[in-house]
Amino acid sequence: MFGFGKKKSDHQGEQAATSAMLSDGREISVKEKIDCLGDSCPRPQLMTKKALSGAAPQDIFEILIDNPSSMEAIPPMMPELGATHLDTVKQRRHWSVFIRKD
C-alpha cells in the first residue's frame, strides 16, 4: 500500500534534532520538523500552536509549508504564543519557517 489518501497525524514530525541554515548564514539545531505540506489554513497554525504548547524554552521548530497564506500567517502569531520567528526560507517547492520557543 502506498499511503495515498492516508491522513497525516495531527502532529507529525521528526523527533531527532537536525541542523539547518538560516538565510543570514547562522546554523541552528532544529528540534522537530512540522510537516504542513498540502495543508491549508488553519491546520498549519493549529499544528504550530500544538508544538509550541509542549516545547521547552529555546526549542527550535521548522514548519514545512507550501500554502502561501499559511506561510504568511505563522510569523505574526509568534508573540501571542511566546515564541520568536527566526526566518522563513524559500525552498524549491515549499517554505521552511523557523521558530523558537521563548
Give tens-digit pLDDT for 48-67. 999 999 999 999 999 999 99
Can you list the residues of the chain whose pLDDT is less than 70? 1-15
Domains for the chain: give ranges and CATH numbers: 31-101 (3.30.110.40)
pLDDT at residue number 15: 59
Question: What is this structure's pTM?
Answer: 0.84
Phi, psi (deg, nearest 5) at residue 56 = -90, 155
Distances (CA, A) of 63 to 2, 39, 92: 24, 12, 15
| pLDDT, averaged across the chain | 88
